[in-house]
Amino acid sequence: MCGIVGYIGHRDASSVVLEGLKKLEYRGYDSAGLALYDGEILKVTKTKGKVSALENKLQNSGNTDGSIGIGHTRWATHGVPNDENSHPHYSNSGELVIIHNGIIENYDSIRKELTKRGYQFKSDTDTEVLVNLIEEIQNKTNLKLGESVQLALKEVVGAYAIAVFDVKKPNEIVVAKLGSPLAIGIGTNEYFIGSDASPFLEYTNKAIYLEDGQVASIRLNKSIKIWEIDNNRPIPVLVQELKMSLEATEKGGYEHFMLKEIYEQPNAIKDTYRGRLLINEKLIKMAGVEENLERFTNADRIIIVACGTSWHAGLVAEYIIEDLTRIPVEVEYASEFRYRNPIITSKDVIIAISQSGETADTLAAIKLAKQNGAFVFGVCNVVGSTIARETNAGAYTHAGPEIGVASTKAFTTQITVLTLIALKLGLAKKTIDNNTFLRLISELNEIPEKLIKTLNCNNTALDIAKVYKNSTNCLFLGRGYNFPVALEGALKLKEISYIHAEGYPAAEMKHGPIALIDENMPIVVVAINKGHYEKTVSNIQEIKARKGKVIAIVTEGDITVKELADHVIEIPETLETLSPLLTTIPLQLFSYHTAVLLNKNVDQPRNLAKSVTVE
């Protein structure tokens, strides 16, 4: 999704903004650009492609001077990815310049009005319309930039995080937000802007997170002014001290963020249950659940809303929560839930799962649920994210920054948090006995060690990837708790290697997918020694009878599947409830190596964005 960066201060704005854009590359984008002002000329450089292409273009043009600058990575919504549609955009007078993350839905009617009044447009974007609307208001009213931006935003429908400056007053950047994230970094006599804090963490750990419906004027050597777009109400400035380190957002010796994040999972899971799973005291402490225990235990049902990998974590949670608490669980794609007039009551608990905490559809589902009186609990990774703030209560996953677009550690830490919740509720509702509780918490405590062992399958996963890297299709099968793991395995493979993949419950194979099986079809089967193991073995026999190639994930010591399968990867023995935390690892590694062998951009796959802040 688009990323925005800005700087005003005593440093060289071009390098601050460029380096900042590199930190936001993980969000996914197709073009990049930046605007600098040196007191004389506004210099706008933009290009389709990567930030490195922008850097070259900038160097060749020599347009690098300026102490005020804004930069953008664009993920196309209105208009194809090309140089012209890239941001920044400037107004017809060439004096106002803007970057924008989001969508202006009514841009077409505004554009038509402005065209009638003589405005001309170079691009197909909604953003160029917005900057000219601001200019039109400024010309008509003679208001300051902040007030003109405010009036313009009152006319638009949509979502945005914007930064604008006026070359006539180059000591000020005006920012505003509705639905897309925006952070302001505060240095000494300098200010930074970012879609998140990563572009400015190396300069300052002091930040302001703008809330929806707010506009701010950031002026050099002056304090920041924030007010509400709708009613001019001034907002007290709340500066937060950030604890995240820059190092945590870098690759740490791994070739790709994705691989680093796969390997971080033992610690990420430990960090997620640290302070919550008190093994010696034999209890689980979770403030967000405890403070709302009755809402949970009296719930008629739990509805989980999420997208993508987070939705898969929700599916795993459905099995765990229903099993341990006997509360009915429904798992919904947020994008379907929000548009289908769902039945929601005040006796429902909604759990919204999101790594980024910014996914537009999940956010809209939360708002809908709240309007209908439901209690909404968030499971997010990014601290202070919009979803974390919009929910009634929640629990963070503590996975640390996930930079690779393909979600890995977010998935396993989400399952960890949801397991803790299920255990806590199960005990409170007495739907599990103390022995079951103790067995599960003791096993959860062992999972990081078992995960370290599981990661030893890396070389085997690489060898298997070498054999199947040129396949055009791949099936993933699993049963029970490991059916969502199969879905997640398929999603990982398709999103980073572009190989078509499908996940199925193993027993569903005979209802259709079996027709696809021949000697060219690799089929990854999660076949651990729990659940309906014998039935999964039968499925493997059915595949082999049709000459399909079986890559089986088995429990260490397995004999039966080993004899049938073409390849096996062993995971340590564990309880079925917790098995997705281990079975998912070989699938992540298989996808990772396949994509690397195919020379794909693993961390930033084509067309994908890390946080999908548009619907």
Catalytic residues: 2, 610
Residue in the structure block whose two tokens are 């439901």: 374
Tell me the closest approach of the beta carbon of residue 197 to ligand M6R, in angstroms. 17
Task: Answer whether 320's CB lies under 8 Å from 481's CB.
Answer: yes
Q: CA angle, corner 399, sides to 244 and 553, nearest 5?
A: 155
Choose one: 44-52, 83-91, 321-329, 356-364; the region binding ligand M6R (CB under 6 A): 356-364
Tell me the closest approach of the beta carbon of residue 360 to ligand M6R, in angstroms. 9
Tell me the closest approach of the beta carbon of residue 313 to ligand M6R, in angstroms. 8
User: Which residue(s) pair with 567 in the sheet?
Assistant: 551
Q: Tell me: does residue 611 bind ligand M6R (CB under 6 A).
A: yes
CA distances from 78 to 84, 85, 424, 609 (A): 12, 8, 47, 16
By CB under 6 A, the residues from 278 to 337 that bind ligand M6R are: 307-310
Q: Tell me: does residue 406 bind ligand M6R (CB under 6 A).
A: yes
Q: Tell me: does residue 31 bind ligand M6R (CB under 6 A).
A: no
Q: What is the DSSP string of 142-185?
A: ---HHHHHHHHHHH--EEEEEEEEETTSTTEEEEEEEBS--EEE
Tell me the closest approach of the beta carbon of residue 282 to ligand M6R, in angstroms. 32
Q: Tell me: does residue 591 bind ligand M6R (CB under 6 A).
A: no
Q: Tell me: does residue 138 bind ligand M6R (CB under 6 A).
A: no
Q: Tell me: does residue 354 bind ligand M6R (CB under 6 A).
A: yes
Tell me the closest approach of the beta carbon of residue 262 to ligand M6R, in angstroms. 12
Please write down the long-range contacts of 250-257, taking CB distance under 8 Å and 24 or more positions apart: 255/596, 256/404, 256/592, 256/596, 256/602, 256/603, 257/26, 257/402, 257/403, 257/404, 257/603
Choose one: 126-134, 183-191, 319-327, 405-413; the region binding ligand M6R (CB under 6 A): 405-413
Q: CA angle, corner 274, sides to 287 and 380, nearest 5?
A: 60
Within 8 A by CB and 6+ apart from 55, the residues are 18
Find the residue with minimal CB distance to ligand M6R.
308
How many Cα atoms within 13 Å fall on the side-chain side of residue 240?
Answer: 13
Give how many residues touch ligand M6R by CB under 6 A. Answer: 17
Q: Tell me: does residue 405 bind ligand M6R (CB under 6 A).
A: yes
Nearer to ligand M6R, 180 or 354 (CB): 354
Q: Tell me: does residue 73 bind ligand M6R (CB under 6 A).
A: no
Tokens of 510: 């005979």
Task: Answer whether 211's CB lies under 8 Å from 199's CB.
Answer: no
Q: Tell me: does residue 356 bind ligand M6R (CB under 6 A).
A: yes
Helix, strand or coil, per DSSP, at residue 504: strand
Task: Answer whether 162's CB lies under 8 Å from 130's CB.
Answer: yes
Nearer to ligand M6R, 176 or 197 (CB): 197
Q: What is the DSSP string of 110-127?
A: HHHHHHHTT---SSS-HH
Tell me the closest approach of the beta carbon of residue 375 to ligand M6R, in angstroms. 20
What is the spatial distance between Cα 117 and Cα 254, in angstroms, rounded to a whole number? Answer: 55
Nearer to ligand M6R, 420 or 490 (CB): 490
Tell me the closest approach of the beta carbon of residue 380 to ligand M6R, in angstroms. 8
Q: Tell me: does residue 391 bind ligand M6R (CB under 6 A).
A: no
Closest by CA position to 402, among listed 387, 383, 416, 376: 383
By CB under 6 A, the residues from 487 to 516 that bind ligand M6R are: 491, 495
Q: Tell me: does residue 125 bind ligand M6R (CB under 6 A).
A: no
How many Cα atoms within 13 Å fall on the side-chain side of residue 169?
Answer: 16
Nearer to ligand M6R, 91 or 356 (CB): 356
Choose one: 39-47, 157-165, 582-590, 604-612; the region binding ligand M6R (CB under 6 A): 604-612
What is the spatial distance between Cα 591 and Cα 487, in angstroms, rounded to a whole number? Answer: 13
Nearer to ligand M6R, 35 or 612 (CB): 612
Buried b (16+ CB within 10 A) or exposed e, 420-433: bbbbbbbbbbebbe
Tell me the closest approach of the beta carbon of residue 399 to ligand M6R, in angstroms. 11
Nearer to ligand M6R, 302 or 334 (CB): 334
Nearer to ligand M6R, 151 or 406 (CB): 406
Give the count of beta carbons closer than 10 Å to the beta carbon of residue 248: 13
Q: Tell me: does residue 362 bind ligand M6R (CB under 6 A).
A: yes
Choose one: 57-65, 348-356, 508-516, 580-588; the region binding ligand M6R (CB under 6 A): 348-356
Q: Residues interacting with ligand M6R, by CB under 6 A?
A: 307-310, 354-356, 359, 362, 405-407, 491, 495, 608, 611-612
